[in-house]
Chains A and B, each alone.
Chain A
Amino acid sequence: MANSDVRLLGASASPYVNRAQIALNVKSIDYEFIAENLFAKSELLLKSNPVHKKVPVLIHGDKPICESLVIVQYIDEVFTNGPSILPSDPYERATARFWAAYLDDKWFPLIKELRTAQGEEAKASLIEKIVEGLVLLEEVFVKGGKGKAFFGGDSIGFLDLALGSFLGLLKVGEIIAEVKLLTETKTPELLGWAERFSSNDVVKGVILEPEKLIEILKSFQAARAKAAASN
């Protein structure tokens, strides 16, 4: 596959971009990564994603595909060499999609809130909800996993990608709130899964280390403040 045929507009700090990167790695696709400055978006980004103006955008030939989970499914359906990302059974596919949507709509917003939460009570309440969500995923892993390494079985699948992409920012949340969110007591299986996910070849080097993420988040904050001040 020619390098210029597959381009990914993204920002390495974004878990949504990471999902697309990992999916492309699963399929061993060579691609060009075009780093976007989210505070000075390129013409290409604005043209390719006029509706949301967000990353990631996968450009395959001249076709733009937007929204991380839509991109992952596209990658799975177009690049048929290599392991499947979604399971083949319709019920398992529905289960994976359900939990991915839960993570995006309900769970990850809690992680974002935790970073800026003020007051012990607010933090404690968020931590409780975040852990509750992880316990749900722990149950999904144990029930559906059949004792395998990943949600997807022997190899990384859709739900692995969906949750795994958040691991960097989860660790950032743990550092800032000074609490462990994945624990031996409540989510032992997920702890093991997180380790296997992060050290897997298709993931290595994609998700940034928490220290780097913290640095980038600080620079985003500064850029936002600057933009707000000049308005």
Chain B
Amino acid sequence: MAEEVMLIGAKGSPFTRRVETALKMKGVQYEFMEEDVSNKSPLLLKYNPVHKKIPVLLHNGKPICESLVIIEYIDETWKGTPILPEDPYERAKARFWAKFMDDKCLQPLWKSCSSQGEEQEKAKEEACELLKILDNELKDKKFFGGDTIGLADIAANFISHWFLIIQEVTGVEVSTKDKYPKLYEWIDEFVNCSIIKENLHPKEELVAVFRGRLQAATATK
């Protein structure tokens, strides 16, 4: 049966990037539809009426939403490089850390660069604690997933790429090699994985996306 796989996403979005990484790990051919999130398409609103957000994966016309849900779907649907380990305990740990990224890390990391004043100071403190936890978790591992990248590493892509760029753009320094040596080792390993390296967005593009977002964030205050 001819398979139709389409990913509705946005180039600047780490969530979209996660799904692309997963699809590429499995060698899945897919069509990419760039979404302008400031002017959402009828297609996006039809396929993700609940959240109206990207990414949305369409597999033979059926939509799957939420990046971590999509990645597990991809892992279960297509053979090839496994994204989650086989052992149930290792799977539980992968899911735990992926959830930790989304539920706990994203907001403070973003706010530590994009907010101001007391809010920013608080976010910076929180971000430091969170990065320390991640640094500790990596103490005897190459990747969160062990020897090869897995769900938690893909979920941490915000830290490996986007967060460093945001720091550069804003001049805020939360994450440094001295403070979190293991984390930076992980960033090196992760970014140098062929599947990640071949598909990195050009830095200038991401810088432009974030300048825009940061302006919007400060403008709404």
> Is chain B found bound to chain A in the same assembly?
yes
Determine whether the beta carbon of A94 is less than 8 Å from that of B88. Answer: no
Q: Which residues of B contact A (CB under 8 A)?
A: 50-51, 59, 62, 64-66, 68-70, 72-73, 76-77, 88-89, 91-92, 95-96, 99-100, 133
Q: List 18 interface pairs A-B (beta carbons < 8 Å), by A numbering.
A: A51-B100, A51-B133, A65-B96, A70-B92, A70-B96, A70-B99, A71-B92, A73-B95, A74-B91, A78-B88, A90-B76, A91-B59, A94-B64, A94-B73, A97-B69, A97-B72, A98-B65, A102-B50
Determine whether the beta carbon of A77 is less than 8 Å from that of B91. Answer: yes
Chain A residues lying within 8 Å of B100, measured Cβ to Cβ, are 51
Nearest 8 Cβ contacts at the A-B interface: A77-B88, A90-B76, A94-B73, A74-B92, A70-B95, A97-B69, A65-B92, A78-B88
Determine whether the beta carbon of B73 is less than 8 Å from that of A90. Answer: yes
CA distance A187 to B50 in the complex (A): 18
Chain A's closest residue to B133 (CB) is A51
Determine whether the beta carbon of A94 is less than 8 Å from that of B69. Answer: yes
Determine whether the beta carbon of B91 is less than 8 Å from that of A73. Answer: yes
Query: Could you tell me the dominant secondary structure of chain A's interface residues?
Result: helix
Chain B's closest residue to A70 (CB) is B95
CA distance A74 to B100 in the complex (A): 17
Query: Could you tell me the dominant secondary structure of chain B's interface residues?
Result: helix
Tell me how many residue pairs across A and B have CB atoms closer than 8 Å: 55
Determine whether the beta carbon of B66 is less than 8 Å from that of A91. Answer: no
Chain B residues lying within 8 Å of A66, measured Cβ to Cβ, are 96
Chain B residues lying within 8 Å of A71, measured Cβ to Cβ, are 92
Chain A's closest residue to B71 (CB) is A94
Chain B residues lying within 8 Å of A73, measured Cβ to Cβ, are 91-92, 95
Interface membership of A122, Cβ < 8 A: no
Determine whether the beta carbon of A90 is less than 8 Å from that of B89. Answer: no
Interface membership of A63, Cβ < 8 A: yes
Q: A50 to chain B: closest CB distance in Å?
A: 9
Interface membership of A136, Cβ < 8 A: yes
Contact of B99 among A63, A67, A74, A93 (CB under 8 A): A67
Chain B residues lying within 8 Å of A94, measured Cβ to Cβ, are 64, 69-70, 72-73
User: Scoring A residues 77 to 115 as 1 if CB is less than 8 Å from chain B, else 0, what string do you get?
Assistant: 110000000000011011001100110000000000000
CA distance A60 to B68 in the complex (A): 25
Q: B183 to chain A: closest CB distance in Å?
A: 15
Chain B's closest residue to A80 (CB) is B88
Task: Given A90-B77, A91-B73, verify A98-B92 contact (CB < 8 Å).
Answer: no
11 extra interface residue pairs, beta carbon distance < 8 Å, beyond A93-B73, A97-B69 = A51-B133, A60-B89, A65-B89, A78-B89, A91-B59, A93-B76, A94-B73, A97-B72, A98-B64, A101-B69, A102-B51
Determine whether the beta carbon of B72 is less than 8 Å from that of A93. Answer: yes
Q: B58 to chain A: closest CB distance in Å?
A: 12
CA distance A136 to B48 in the complex (A): 13
Q: B50 to chain A: closest CB distance in Å?
A: 6
Chain A residues lying within 8 Å of B88, measured Cβ to Cβ, are 74, 77-78
Chain A residues lying within 8 Å of B89, measured Cβ to Cβ, are 60, 63, 65, 74, 78
CB within 8 Å of B: which A29-85 residues? 51, 60, 63, 65-67, 70-71, 73-74, 77-78
Chain B's closest residue to A65 (CB) is B92
Q: A142 to chain B: closest CB distance in Å?
A: 16
Chain A residues lying within 8 Å of B65, measured Cβ to Cβ, are 98
Chain B residues lying within 8 Å of A70, measured Cβ to Cβ, are 92, 95-96, 99
Chain A residues lying within 8 Å of B77, measured Cβ to Cβ, are 90
Determine whether the beta carbon of A98 is less than 8 Å from that of B96. Answer: no
Chain A residues lying within 8 Å of B76, measured Cβ to Cβ, are 90, 93
